[in-house]
Structure formats: structure tokens, C-alpha cells
Amino acid sequence: MTHARQPVRILLADDHEVVRRGLKLVLESEPDLRVTSEAADGPSAVRQAVREEVDVAVLDLSMPGMSGLQATREITRLRPSVRVIILSMHSNESYLREAMRAGASGYVLKSDGGHSLVAACRAAARGQSVGAPFHRARTAASAMEREAQASADGLTARETQILSLIADGHTTREIADLLVISPRTVDRHREKLARKLNLRNRVELTRFALRQNLVEP
């Protein structure tokens, strides 16, 4: 008799709730990943990593109370079995080196829009390191940003507004009430967005919005 493998248990730490919500949606769209803990600052991330059953801790580089690097050092010292991934806006090789020195298993750029984080969580859970060679990751991220920007240029102001609200986790009814339009109109805008951007569902729209920085902290 075979037993289904348990999902990778993830601690997600970022001081912006909207960003956490978007990343959680992306991660939990994968059947083998589950966000079991969330934190809004460094000290809380360390406490939860130590006290709770966590396989991978995803830490924002810049957090109040304790930076992602400081939290990484504490987590790897107090709970060595937890693998840490640093999530950063900075495509700077010095940050990568500091993260690895602190004990992180991975360094992922926020501009990747979520798909690299999914791969990094899986790799970290297997005991593999993610982030080197760094110049290749940086080049890939820059290419993705250019491609995404070109796609976003064709959106109207209303489409951009609705895309931002979708990524913020609002339902069709909530968006309709906020913009004083009908739910049917919201649905039409969402369908048009999906066609314009060649995206299939809410998860992919959220990834795109995160990559474009359309979600305000």
C-alpha cells in the first residue's frame, strides 16, 4: 500500500499582507505545496519556524524588527531542518552572497512573479540550493520583466484597475461594488484581460499583477 506524500509545509513571511496573499494563492495552486504559517515581521517568522512544523521558510529580505538575513541566521541556528528561501526585489549579487552566508538555501527575485518561488520551494524541500549561477537568474528575470511590460502596455486604465483588484483577492461582486459597475461587466473585463495577456485563470492573472507591481502594499 502506498501513502500519498505530504505537501511541503511553508512559512511565508512578508510585512505586506497583500503580497503575502498573492504569493499564498500562487503557492497553494500547486498540490504539493501548502502555506501553513504566515508572519509579518522577522521576530515572528523566527518564532513560528522554531515552534511550528515547517519544511521551508520563505522570508522577505526587508522586514521590520529583523531583516530576512538576520531571521535566516536565527532559523538555521535554532531549527537547522528548516530550509530558508530569501525573497528579494534586489538583483544584486552581493545580496545573494550574504543570503547564502546566512544559511539560505535559495534566493528568488520578486520580479519572477511566483513561478520561480514554486520551483525554489520544491528544490529546498529536497535539500537543493537555488540561486546560482546568479547572473543567469538575473538575466532571466530581466527578460521576463521586459516581456511582461510590453504586454501590460496594451491595457486600459480600467483593465489595470480590475487586474489589481483581482490580484488583491477581491471577488467579482466586491469589484463590481467598488467600481459601481455590474458583476457581468467585471466578468467581461476579466475575460478580455485573459485574452489580451494570454493568461488562463485568476492564479496566472495574480502572478502577472505581482510581476508588474500592480498590487499596492
> Measured between alpha carbons, how far is 160 from 1 in angstroms, rounded to an integer?
50
Instruction: Select from 107, 111, 110, 132 the least CA-distant residue to 120.
Output: 107
24 by DSSP, 3-state: which?
helix
Residue with cell 499582507: 17
33-39 β-sheet, strand order: 33-39, 8-13, 56-60, 83-88, 106-109
For the segment 21-74, what is each residue's pLDDT rounded down to a tens digit? 989 999 999 999 999 999 999 999 999 999 999 999 999 998 999 999 999 999
> Measured between alpha carbons, how far is 193 from 122 in angstroms, rounded to an integer?
30
pLDDT at 143 over 90: no
pLDDT at 2 over 50: no
Other CB atoms within 10 A of residue 200 CB: 9
pTM greater than 0.85: no
CB 89, CB 113: distance < 8 Å: no
Hey, what domains does the chain have and what are their CATH numbers?
8-137 (3.40.50.2300), 154-211 (1.10.10.10)
Across the strands, what pairs with 35?
10
Residue with cell 525554489: 120
For the segment 165-203, what is each residue's pLDDT rounded down to a tens digit? 888 888 888 888 888 889 999 999 888 888 888 777 787
